[in-house]
Amino acid sequence: MAQADVATFDLDVVRRFADLAVDGLSASREEIDALNVYPVPDGDTGTNMFLTVESARDAMAAALEEHPDDLRLAMRAYARGALLGARGNSGVIFSQLIGALLRRIGRAGPDDRSASVFAEGMALATEAAYAAVGKPVEGTILSVARAASEAAATAAEVREDRLGDVVRAAASAAREALARTPEQLPVLAQAGVVDAGGRGLCVVLDAAESAITGKRATTATPHVGSPAIPVARIQTGDLTEGGPAYEVMYLLEADDDAIAPLREELASLGDSLVVVGGEGLWNVHVHVADVGAAVEAGIRAGSPRRIEVTHFAEQIDRARDKRAERRGRRLVIVAAGPGLNALFRESGALVIDGGPGRRPSTREVLEAIEQTAAEEVIVLPNDPDSLGVAEAAAHEAEAKGIHVVVIPTRAQVQGIAALAVHEPGRPLDSDVVHMTAAARGARHGAVTVAAKDAMTTAGPCSVGDALGVINGDFAIVAKDLYEVACGVLERLIGGGGELVTLVAGAEAGDLAQACEAWVQRAHPGVDVVVYEGGQDRYPLLVAVE
């Protein structure tokens, strides 16, 4: 999408939006989970919305691998991925919102204004979301969506307003509507929080604003705090009071004309009903007392599959039972190269392949956690992009009865430092404290090669330049890898340290050995350890402790 009067839908912007939406919900997931008191205080709205947008992005990425320049295919894949991966009430509603919006964008012609297309798409998205919900309730994600769509329509009427202005107006109106949700829904006012689903939608709209304008959106989070209604009451089995005990979700293959009778039948069985989709594939979500009746209704309408049932009051009890079947403590570690993979495996960890351009999915991390068969699991993501994924997987695993702690390692060398002090015989809390302290104490850097001309925080670079990275930021630009590596080491060792760790990449040559010799000459009192990591894109990773 470009800020122009003629509609131009840019694949790069769509990709940026997909990444920013995942990153935004990853960062806000715990906050949104804590806000979740309606319709059921089960503390998973943020996680569900994160998993929904992650599924959408992954589906789009898979489609673009075969057809890298097909924008309309990418948008269809994103919408379908959201539908198939939708989790929970808010995730299902969001999938309907994004599906309707992208369908309108996909129909845009060369003479359509970007601003008008987005505004019309938002209106259609809101209309579709309200239609999908059995009994729409104000003070929820629906109210926030409506406020955003109305603001977008008003902004689009101003002839000089462009796409960026319209999206900014929608995002701003959404935040204002979010602040009003406690006035509309008494349970939110009683708890002292805003609506969780609405907050998630604000994060997504902020991602759209940033993707289109290139500017970081400013997100207000009014009334965010610890709910006065304890989310933890799920542990007491108190959720059946005054409402259905089960959440039922399934995908449904059915003709469009079968959906209205299905909605009517499910509405008579329970509440929180949402049915979204189209063209023969639907995602059904409902809270009921009679699970069999809800599934049978789906069978009469078509062919249900991927049926998921959650008993709110027994969720924690089942988790405790599963926890009792597990024993011991294991590590799950994301590794960026074959040498690092082998190093982590030698410690007994279960290792997931990761690294630049290969971030593991939440499902992969969750499957690894479950595969450990351990009661206690420590996860080392070793990458900032994998951190949110690991935290979402940990949330899911906790619901399955596995005690999971994610240590926020943001570099492979921080993972090595944490692993070095790991003691499974210690109490979990003590082990986590020692590993976290070791990871934080490892100042880290790297050497890479510029793949394109760009402006970095260290100045301009050209293709082939050597780049020095310190604690995640570009700090040195030069022509020679060895020169840059020594510069990175000097800056890191200058802050004090007794141990240098060097991890050689796949195409490092003798760079690590040359740097080892340099440290021994320049800082003879500092010990050096060298590993063959085999990671791509980074000839050298460095840590100083």
The CATH number given to whatever domain includes residue 89 is 1.25.40.340
Which of 2-6, 305-309, 467-471 shows the lowest mean pLDDT across its residues?
2-6
434-471 per-position pLDDT tens digit:
999 999 989 999 999 988 888 888 889 889 898 999 98
3-class secondary structure, 214: coil
Same domain, 350 and 263: no
Task: Tell me the mean pLDDT in the region 194-202.
Answer: 90
Angle at 109 between CA 108 and CA 112, to 5 degrees: 80
Task: Point out the domain boundary residue: 382, 413, 440.
Answer: 440
CB 277 within 8 A of CB 83: yes
% of residues, the chain, pLDDT over 70: 89
Indicate whether 78 pLDDT > 90: yes
pLDDT band at 190; cut points 50, 70, 90: confident
Whichever domain contains 283, its CATH number is 3.30.70
Indicate whether 61 pLDDT > 80: yes
Same domain, 455 and 517: yes
226 falls within a domain: no
225: which 2 tokens? 């705090």
Cβ partners under 8 Å of residue 351, min gap 6: 332, 333, 334, 335, 341, 344, 345
Same domain, 391 and 433: yes
339-371 per-position pLDDT tens digit:
999 999 888 889 998 877 778 888 889 989 988
Same domain, 112 and 186: yes
Task: Point out the domain boundary residue: 440, 459, 485.
Answer: 440
Same domain, 139 and 213: yes
pLDDT band at 35; cut points 50, 70, 90: confident
Instruction: Quote the pLDDT of residue 326.
Output: 64
3-class secondary structure, 103: helix
287 falls within a domain: yes
Task: Tell me the mean pLDDT in the region 56-66.
Answer: 89
Instruction: Quote the pLDDT of residue 218.
Output: 55
4 falls within a domain: no
Residue type at position 482? Y
- In 10 A of CB 252, how many CB atoms? 24
Same domain, 409 and 350: yes
162: which 2 tokens? 């462009």
292 falls within a domain: yes
Which of 307-316, 493-502, 519-528 shows the lowest mean pLDDT across its residues?
307-316
Taken in order 40, 42, 43, 44, is the CA torsion positive or negative? negative
Instruction: Quote the pLDDT of residue 501.
Output: 92
% of residues, the chain, pLDDT over 90: 25
More confident residue, 511 or 6: 511
**DSSP letter (8 states) at residue 223:** T
3-class secondary structure, 185: coil
User: Structural domain of residue 295, as residue ranges?
Assistant: 250-311
Same domain, 266 and 411: no
**DSSP letter (8 states) at residue 133:** B
3-class secondary structure, 414: helix
CB 526 within 8 A of CB 489: no
Instruction: Quote the pLDDT of residue 217.
Output: 59
Please state whether 426 falls in left (phi above 0), alpha (psi between -120 and 50) or beta.
beta
Task: Tell me the mean pLDDT in the region 284-301.
Answer: 87
3-class secondary structure, 501: strand
Query: CA–CA separation, 525 vs 216, rounded Å?
Result: 45
Task: Tell me the mean pLDDT in the region 179-201.
Answer: 86
| Helix, strand, coil distribution of the chain in percent, nearest 5 | 55, 20, 30
Instruction: Quote the pLDDT of residue 484.
Output: 92
Which of 215-224, 250-259, 483-492 shows the lowest mean pLDDT across its residues?
215-224
Closest CA to 386 of 359, 351, 355, 353: 359
Instruction: Quote the pLDDT of residue 171.
Output: 92
Same domain, 416 and 302: no
Phi, psi of 289 (to 5 degrees): -95, -25
Instruction: Quote the pLDDT of residue 240.
Output: 39
Same domain, 258 and 286: yes
256 falls within a domain: yes
Closest CA to 137 of 38, 221, 203: 38
Cβ partners under 8 Å of residue 334, min gap 6: 351, 352, 353, 354, 360, 365, 380, 381, 382, 383, 386, 390, 415
Instruction: Quote the pLDDT of residue 161.
Output: 67
Indicate whether 416 pLDDT > 90: yes
Same domain, 522 and 461: yes
141 falls within a domain: yes
66 falls within a domain: yes
175 falls within a domain: yes
Residue type at position 545? E
Indicate whether 324 pLDDT > 80: no
Phi, psi of 528 (to 5 degrees): -130, 135
Residue type at position 147? A
pLDDT band at 256; cut points 50, 70, 90: confident
Instruction: Quote the pLDDT of residue 272.
Output: 78
Instruction: Quote the pLDDT of residue 233.
Output: 35
265-292 per-position pLDDT tens digit:
888 888 778 888 887 888 888 888 888 8
Would you list the DSSP string of 22-43? Answer: HHHHHHHHHHHHHH--SS---S
* Structural domain total, the chain: 4
Query: Rounded to whole angstroms, what are the CA distances from 343 to 103, 340, 479?
Result: 47, 5, 31
Instruction: Quote the pLDDT of residue 392.
Output: 87
Instruction: Quote the pLDDT of residue 412.
Output: 92
Task: Point out the domain boundary residue: 392, 418, 440.
Answer: 440
Query: pTM score, two decimals?
Result: 0.64
